[in-house]
Amino acid sequence: MGCDMLYLECRAGISGDMFVAALLDLGADEEVLRRALDSLPLRGFRTVISRVSKAGLDACDFAVILDEEYENHDHDMTYLYGADSHAAVRERSDGDHRHAEEYGHGHGHGHTAHSHEVPHVHRGMAEIMDILHAAVLTERARELAIRIFTILGEAEAAAHGTTLEQVHFHEVGAVDSIVDVVAAAVCLDNLEIDAVVVPVLYEGVGHVRCQHGMMPVPVPAVTHIVSRHRLRLHIMPHVGEYVTPTGAAIAAAICTHTSLPDEFELRKIGIGAGKRTQEVPGLLRGLLIRPMAQQRTETDRICKLETNLDDCTGEALGYAMGQLLEAGARDVYCTPIYAKKNRPAHLLTVLCDVPLVPVMEEILFAETTTIGIRRTTMERSVLSRRIRTVNTSLGCVRVKECAVPVRRGTEGTEGRVTRCYPEHDSIVDLCRRTGRAYQDVYRCIMKELSAM
């Protein structure tokens, strides 16, 4: 695809099957996907790729058809929202229909080779990793699938107050969710897409039935993913779950930009159809675009909040900083200063996205002794970056890759180099698992990254 970028228009939310269908509509190879899914050590499902009409638009549909023993009612509107809910569907009132008899001309395939597989209500992270490593995937597709499930696992762990290693997936550990995640990774890899623009996710309101009963929308896993990975969320006044945990995790795993280039060429359009019939038709549009001029950086706006504290204890200050970071602050730091009457004090600075200012200020007023906060809105330039999972001799590590513009030669010609930065939490995790010192692990990882 060269320098093409993928723009995801998530005005009707995003789910795993919608994302896969959009990429198939953009030209992802169905045969490559079929071979990858055939290699999964799972049974009890088949997949169907077909054309459907939704809200009068021609779209691709990717369906994971489960055997009765694996059925989870994920598209049963009355089950999900209750019989009296406005989101429950009595008829396909938006005029959706398949171009042929139901699944009649789709490309279905069943999985029966691994007869030892038995139905799993819950799967742990270790079981998911075993499935992904057993499948026949490219390394890039496998890394992306691992990244998506790691994001899902961290969100589930945060929601249930446990650890990534101990968490047991419910809905996202089901057969259809595993297939959706693997299919998403395979299709993105097949299209050779590295840059993805996800400006905002549109979500509904109300409640939806999950493993633990009726949950508010957005569900806890989605809120944790949105907060931790700084995705932008817009709440629509429509009842229903439009952003699924799998959809949010895919967006978090692949998003490299939150804004479109100033000018671009539109190369191709793909539309993926969702299964649920809700007030806003479930359509995810993916656009392959090519920037007219290669962007070295992207520009966005952030807010800087500052307050002087001369009567706040170190314990309270440390707790407040942790709360600010958990709530989505981009950075929080303290600077020693001298305040009024030559009192030793701290300048507490918070950098955050503009929409998060009310949340940040609420925490500052509640958790510190401040009675006033200074606010400055500013623009910034940031390097294009992506986060991916890399296999090393010590284990998997998450790495941030930044494209850095450089000037080379006497003629001042421009070039680009990629710099890799291991994520701190991944290094700490490897230290705990191997018993080695932080500096030793860091040097080992950097040496292997430089050789890749």
Which range has the worst mean pLDDT, 98-107, 164-173, 354-363, 385-394? 98-107
Can you read off the two tokens belonging to residue 151?
A: 């994001």
Least confident span in 97-101, 254-258, 316-320:
97-101
Structure tokens at 361: 């200020």
On the question of pLDDT at 240 being above 50, the answer is yes
Mean pLDDT, range 45-69, rounded to an integer: 90
DSSP 67: P
pLDDT of residue 169 exceeding 60: yes
The Cα–Cα gap between 96 and 53 comes to 5
Instruction: Give the pLDDT confidence score for residue 74 in this predicted structure.
Output: 54
Confidence of residue 104 (pLDDT cuts 50, 70, 90): very low
- Residue 361's φ and ψ, nearest 5 degrees, are -65, -35
Global confidence as pTM: 0.63
Q: What is the mean pLDDT of the chain?
A: 83
- DSSP string across 264-300: EEEEEEEEEE-S---SS--EEEEEEEEESS--SEEEE
Cβ pair 253, 189 in contact under 8 A: no
pLDDT of residue 311: 92
pLDDT in tens, 328-339: 899 999 999 998
Whether residue 72 is predicted with pLDDT greater than 70 in this model: the reply is: no
What pLDDT is attached to residue 370? Answer: 96
Structure-model confidence comparison of residues 405 and 51, the more confident one: 51
Cα gap 222→200, rounded to integer Å: 13
- Which tokens is 97 given? 């229909």
Placement of tokens 């996202």 in the chain: 172
User: What is residue 78's predicted lDDT score, i.e. its pLDDT?
Assistant: 53
Q: Is the pLDDT of residue 351 over 90?
A: yes
* 247-302 residue pLDDT tens: 999 999 999 888 888 788 899 999 999 988 889 999 999 999 988 754 455 567 89
The whole-number pLDDT of residue 127 equals 87
- pLDDT number for residue 376: 95
Domain ranges in the chain are 5-291, 298-382, 387-451
User: Phi/psi class of residue 358: alpha, beta or left (left: φ > 0; alpha: ψ in -120 to 50)?
Assistant: alpha
Q: What homologous superfamily is domain 298-382 in, according to CATH?
A: Transcriptional regulatory protein pf0864 domain like (3.30.70.1380)
CA atoms within 13 A on the CB side of 56: 1
**Mean pLDDT, rounded, for 71-89:** 51
Q: Which two tokens stand for residue 344?
A: 């030793």
What are the structure tokens assigned to 257, written together? 């930009």
